[in-house]
Structure 1
């Protein structure tokens, strides 16, 4: 470290030493020089200590920042790893859970015996409460809901609970009051076979599927063909290949899905569950077609307003944002297309369709 003050003091000492001064003056000057030397040394030590303190402070701050950064990174990675074990279930998993729930549901539908004089659901519920006493009859009821405008559905906890209403005296008591008890009729499941040559006859495809895939399974050819019915095809009309959607029995569905891939003649095809829901092109609602729609006016699938269709929508030409007709109808967030596969209304309709499908082999 350069010390200019020390150099100057030495120059003074040298100059004084060569001058003719008295011993007393010389002693005085040397004492003053030593005092100055001491003062400057203290000043230098103080400055050095201050610099050391600042350097130490900087090093400590940098070190603490580095440690905190490492801790934050470790915490982030730990949380990320923890969240990976708690992933949101995929929609495929949700569908699978709903299919299992559909298998387990124990339901009966109650309607009036005389179809020409249907009772309102509320009236049917009053008769049920007067006739059935779950506490006395030891029946576990999960819930009761309307079945359209002409009946109600009761969901029981077990098959035994269901039989107490369907097979014994309670059914007779309800019949005496003009009500009939029936099993809830569920739709047969559908499966889709991908990339089938359009030139292949349906009967030939059915024969191939059985002979090349089902011979070793516990089902006869007659039962297979009776329970394996073409519903419709999908795919581009100008393509040589299309996808075949078959309505099948729960047993056939299970046997085919276990294989994942099936063989027909010289080719193989992937097969999976087909889950779809009918959408009305008039009102955009689910569960019915335009032929059976009760709405008077058409609802636009682009802007969700009534009185015109997608083709004549004036807002489409102005490039306005699309609005979902179904979510708008129910006061939900509608800032997406009516055709959006992630639409909450569409997913709800799909889920209800799954619950109305019979996946149970029993």
Structure 2
């Protein structure tokens, strides 16, 4: 019996050989049983039994072979998933290295490079948005029903309110973006919306994240907090109450690692002003952490391959329905995200200057509470 590393071609040949042997034994058994000269005695029974045992044995051999091949296939898929996870984890480090490399070159920065610079630019555009949800949390109303109910009682023309965008939020809400603060306040102050069972509020913003680079791999979370307090003149209350240690990223198994922390807007400002922090025996660079996850399977944002729900893969090069690694097209690239949003799409979905990628970064920054 051969090992589990058998190729698909080997399995195909092996299967064909066994089918031929089984068919031969079947024909011989039929001929033997139909021969009127053969009387079924002990000798004949033994002969028939031998044929049957040979057939059963070869079928068992085939089943074992296919089982081993299936096991090899499962292991290969596991290895592929591990590689994809590793690629996703290291994308953050690659982006950081690219960003540092770009800042070493003279010339004008691209918009994407500006977004990835060490200090977050908070003036991309005003976030004059509100979210609208049913007051009754048990309702089955979907976003389209909510939209129709709003249109029945709220007329932007009559109210003098300029609206730039309306989009669905999940299965039970709407996000409405107004042109300015006055338009936003007019929507918030409208009592009719409340009377029909709708709650209008500002979107909840996420806390800022910072990245610490070159953190000693063996350091504990308690030692990080202690170092920030005692070596960097941070107040104990701030570190204990306003900081949450996040996830590691970058190369695994080394002497150092990169680490994210979630902080309050005030603590963010204090730590960024230091530009570097002392942790145990190390001095670590600290920067804003503004990164968008891009799925290697569907090229969508804000999720990774492991949690992708797309029914089919999408190529990052040509936007076709196949894995990027198997793309054979040589013509100019097509970005699936920009094509979907009717933007210039003559670039790969992985391009750092991709308009859809930049818009995703903008959205992340606008959803983050940076304070004054």
Global fold match (TM > 0.5): yes
Partner of 2:88: none
Report whether the alignment pairs 1:315 with 2:328.
yes
- Number of aligned residues: 263
**Contiguous gaps of at least 5 residues in structure 1:** 1-86
Pairing partner for 1:100 from 107, 123, 147:
123
Partner of 2:358: 347
TM-score (norm: length of structure 2): 0.58
Q: Structure 1 residues 248 and 130, CA, compared in 2 at 3 Å: closer, same or farther?
A: same
Pairing partner for 1:200 from 185, 209, 219:
219
2:216, 2:272 → 1: CA distance? Answer: 21
Q: Rg: which structure is higher?
A: 1
Of stretches 250-259 and 144-153 in structure 1, the one that deviates more from structure 2 is 144-153
TM-score (norm: length of structure 1): 0.60
DSSP 3-state at the match of 2:302: coil
2:196, 2:244 → 1: CA distance? Answer: 40
Residue 310 of structure 1 and its aligned partner are, at CA, apart by: 3.7
Partner of 2:195: 176
Report whether the alignment pairs 1:255 with 2:276.
no
Residue 276 of structure 1 and its aligned partner are, at CA, apart by: 0.5
The answer on whether the counterparts of 1:106 and 1:155 sit within 8 Å (CA) in structure 2 is yes
1:251, 1:225 → 2: CA distance? Answer: 14
The answer on whether the counterparts of 2:317 and 2:327 sit within 8 Å (CA) in structure 1 is no
Residue 115 of structure 1 and its aligned partner are, at CA, apart by: 4.0
The answer on whether the counterparts of 2:131 and 2:202 sit within 8 Å (CA) in structure 1 is yes
Give deviations 1:154-192, integer Å, cap 9, x for gaps: 4567878766765x7x45x43331212233012221111
The answer on whether the counterparts of 1:141 and 1:154 sit within 8 Å (CA) in structure 2 is no
Q: How does 1:127-276 map to 2 (within 5 A)?
A: 127-131=149-153, 143-148=164-169, 149-155=171-177, 170-171=190-191, 173-215=192-234, 220-276=235-291
**Contiguous gaps of at least 5 residues in structure 2:** 1-107
Residue 150 of structure 1 and its aligned partner are, at CA, apart by: 2.9
Give deviations 1:281-337, integer Å, cap 9, x for gaps: 32111123345534211223354321x4244x1528xx7776544345556555544
Partner of 2:78: none
The answer on whether the counterparts of 1:98 and 1:351 sit within 8 Å (CA) in structure 2 is no
The answer on whether the counterparts of 2:115 and 2:361 sit within 8 Å (CA) in structure 1 is no
DSSP 3-state at the match of 1:205: helix
1:243, 1:338 → 2: CA distance? Answer: 26
Partner of 1:338: 349
Q: Structure 1 residues 128 and 100, CA, compared in 2 at 3 Å: closer, same or farther?
A: same
Q: Structure 1 residues 132 and 310, CA, compared in 2 at 3 Å: closer, same or farther?
A: closer
The answer on whether the counterparts of 1:303 and 1:315 sit within 8 Å (CA) in structure 2 is no
Q: Structure 1 residues 100 and 164, CA, compared in 2 at 3 Å: closer, same or farther?
A: same
DSSP 3-state at the match of 1:272: strand
CA-based RMSD = 3.7
The answer on whether the counterparts of 1:109 and 1:147 sit within 8 Å (CA) in structure 2 is no
1:230, 1:297 → 2: CA distance? Answer: 35
Give deviations 1:219-268, integer Å, cap 9, x for gaps: x5234223222221122114211111112221111111122122223322
1:265, 1:324 → 2: CA distance? Answer: 45
2:335, 2:182 → 1: CA distance? Answer: 44
Report whether the alignment pairs 1:287 with 2:310.
no
Q: Structure 1 residues 159 and 223, CA, compared in 2 at 3 Å: closer, same or farther?
A: farther
1:264, 1:359 → 2: CA distance? Answer: 25
Partner of 1:114: 136
The answer on whether the counterparts of 2:215 and 2:279 sit within 8 Å (CA) in structure 1 is no
